[in-house]
Chain A
Amino acid sequence: MKAFRIVPQFLPNILNPNLFPITFPKPLHIPVFLSPLSSTISTFRSVFSSSSSTPSMAESGNLTPFDGTLGTQFESFRTQLDETSNLRERIRNVALEIESVTRIMHANLLLVHQSRPVSEVLEKAKSQIGPLKEHFNRLAEIIRDCPGQYYRYHNDWKNETQTVVSLLAFMHWLETGNLLLHPEAQEKLGLNTPDFGLDVEDYLVGICFMSNELPRYVINRVTYGDYDSPRKVLNFLTDLHAAFRMLNLRNDFLRKKFDGMKYDLKRVEEVFYDVKIRGLIDNEDSKGDQGSKEQP
């Protein structure tokens, strides 16, 4: 380190350009090269200043410049990358709009916890499906222009889509008591084109999100005197959990969400247990249910 410091100080005195047997770029370069070694930030300018002096080097050498060949390719890269970033910008804008629609939808749907009639809640929430469909169509149109690149931009709408799926699935469950299946979800969003579908993993993550909503729903239903709902939800969630166990998951986000599902199941089980032990459930129905449960 010491030696390194000394060099630049005395070299300029010793160096005499006339002594050089080979062509040497101006001695002026030396401090430029030496000074920036200690920090990267300060180097930025100095390297540029040295690269601006490239012509002096080119004069000394007889080598062909590379700019010609490099330039054309990089020029086209630049335009291509500009295009993709424009495209991404457009996609992000649509994704933002999807996000704001889902927020409204979610807010509407939250009323279900306040014991509003389900039909009323659903009607309000459903009014947002139209705009959602529209936005997803716009996404599909944008992606149609770059076939095969769905997954290049997928990250930009992935989270939003997962939330959408969870809300739609929750609504569907409230309405029918069934799980919203993947093709049904696609249909609801109008995503039937081959270039733009609903990614299965997004769908599954969305379903996991939905299961997070159920324990709270059950507790609130029971608070408002609907003692039958724990059994219904428990059956549904048990089936769902069992179905998820059929999947061989990687150690990824979906796996994590699925691992969380068992806590939802547990909470619902607890509520069901509480309701049951207090004798709040209509006896006849639960007896039949109980009997059949214990048989297998």
Chain B
Amino acid sequence: MYAATTIQKLALMASKPKSSRLHNLAGARWESVAKKPRMMTTNASISDSFSKYAEYLNNLNEKRERVVKASRDITMNSKKVIFQVHRIGKHNKDEVLEKAEKDLQAVRDQHVSRLVKELNGTDFWKLRRAYSPGVQEYVEAATFCKFCRTGTLLNLDEINATFLHLCDSSIEPLQINILDYLLGLADLTGELMRLAISRISDGELDFADKICRFVRDLHRELTIIVPNMDESHDMKFKMETMLQSVMKIENGQVCFYFLFVLDIELLFFVACFSVHVRGSEYIPMLGVNDPSYTLMGVPDMEL
């Protein structure tokens, strides 16, 4: 009987709005246990302290939500920057990169600054999962820009330095941690691979070669570091992908040498081969029965 009433009461309470429920709860308890002073204090202190926990959790969840949103915006806009860099060609390098850098600056000013405002103290690690994807994408975009500009790697300290002016000195500045930086670098190699392939097909062999050696170096350095990373599972997976990127660039180069050197008879084989090598990127082409895409595109200018 009691059980039934309890359940009814609980159901009733559930249907009321939160604040009134809270109030009711305290009130009802107060009455029912008025005879037992010890229980009375328990109830009061339980609901008191739970309203504190509720506030804490609400604040935390709201903050997490804002951080996730900012992170998503950073991801989206950083992706745009990366696409912008991919528009690079033989003659428009400066122009393309200038726009990319400007866009990157906008990402910092508009979106990264939102992150900076939210995070301080222990939040950087507590909410890392919420902002990590965005930051990784940003690292990818920033290092990608920098590599195309100078052919060097943008260091973690340099990235962090660009964040310093985003807030006044009262707020703790956002500092990307090593893990997110390294995860971002791992993604960078994928973009560099795409860039290298397109450079090869554009005939910019030197640039492709530069990319190739850079990616190899990056891969080698990361190989040493990865086992020591905090949660190395993600990174191990990315390393596999990275290795494949390295190989794709290498194979792309080999392909080009064949194309460059050998006569037309060979072209068919090579094209098939390159389609195979770069299968992952050209699957849509194969899907529409147009395997000659690379065959048409590559040799035109050079042969």
Residue in A4, A70, A249 whose beta carbon sits within 8 Å of that of B221 in the complex: A70
A-B contacts besides A3-B272, A47-B250, 4 pairs, CB < 8 Å: A20-B257, A61-B210, A154-B126, A269-B2
Q: List 18 A-B contacts (CB under 8 A).
A: A3-B276, A4-B276, A7-B273, A14-B266, A22-B257, A47-B216, A58-B213, A67-B217, A81-B229, A82-B228, A178-B45, A201-B57, A246-B18, A246-B25, A247-B53, A272-B2, A276-B2, A295-B32
Bound CA–CA A214/B220 (angstroms): 56
Interface majority SS on B: helix, strand, loop or mixed?
helix
Residue in B58, B218, B268 whose beta carbon sits within 8 Å of that of A70 in the complex: B218
Query: Once the chains bind, are B54 and A66 in contact (CB under 8 Å)?
Result: no
Which residues of chain A from 17 to 67 have any CB-CB distance to chain B below 8 Å in the complex? 19-22, 24, 29-30, 33-34, 36-37, 40, 43-44, 47, 50-51, 54, 57-58, 61, 63-67
Question: Which residues of A are found within 8 Å of B124, using beta-carbon distances?
Answer: 148
Chain A residue at minimal CB-CB distance from B258:
A11
Known: A24-B257, A182-B53, A246-B51. A239 touches B43 (CB 8 A): yes
Query: Once the chains bind, are B225 and A54 in contact (CB under 8 Å)?
Result: no
Interface residues on A, range: 35 or more
Known: A200-B53, A244-B50, A273-B3. A37 touches B125 (CB 8 A): no
Which residues of chain B from 197 to 248 have any CB-CB distance to chain A below 8 Å in the complex? 205-206, 209-210, 213-214, 216-218, 220-222, 224-225, 228-230, 240, 243-244, 246-247
Bound CA–CA A63/B217 (angstroms): 14
Query: Once the chains bind, are B251 and A33 in contact (CB under 8 Å)?
Result: yes
Bound CA–CA A154/B266 (angstroms): 60
Bound CA–CA A270/B57 (angstroms): 32
Interface residues on B, range: 35 or more
B21-60: CB near A (< 8 Å → 1, else 0) gives: 1100101110111110011011101110111111011100
Chain B residues at the A interface, C-beta cutoff of 8 Å? 1-3, 5-6, 9-10, 13-14, 18, 21-22, 25, 27-29, 31-35, 38-39, 41-43, 45-47, 49-54, 56-58, 61, 121-122, 124-126, 128, 151-153, 155-156, 178, 182, 205-206, 209-210, 213-214, 216-218, 220-222, 224-225, 228-230, 240, 243-244, 246-247, 250-251, 254, 257-258, 260-262, 266, 268-270, 272-273, 276-277
Question: Which residues of B are found within 8 Å of A272, using beta-carbon distances?
Answer: 2-3
Chain A residues at the B interface, C-beta cutoff of 8 Å? 1, 3-4, 6-7, 11, 14-15, 19-22, 24, 29-30, 33-34, 36-37, 40, 43-44, 47, 50-51, 54, 57-58, 61, 63-67, 69-71, 73-74, 77-78, 80-82, 84-85, 88, 148-152, 154, 177-179, 181-182, 200-201, 203-204, 234-236, 238-250, 266, 269-270, 272-273, 276, 288, 290, 292-296
Query: Once the chains bind, are B2 and A290 in contact (CB under 8 Å)?
Result: yes
Question: Which residues of B are found within 8 Å of A78, using beta-carbon distances?
Answer: 224-225, 228
Known: A148-B121, A246-B54. A179 touches B46 (CB 8 A): yes
Question: Which residues of B are found within 8 Å of A292, using beta-carbon distances?
Answer: 31-35
Known: A3-B268, A77-B182, A177-B42. A293 touches B2 (CB 8 A): yes
Smallest CB separation, B151 vs chain A (Å): 8
Query: Once the chains bind, are A273 and B2 in contact (CB under 8 Å)?
Result: yes
Question: Which residues of A are found within 8 Å of B38, using beta-carbon distances?
Answer: 177-178
Residue in B39, B230, B250 whose beta carbon sits within 8 Å of that of A152 in the complex: B230
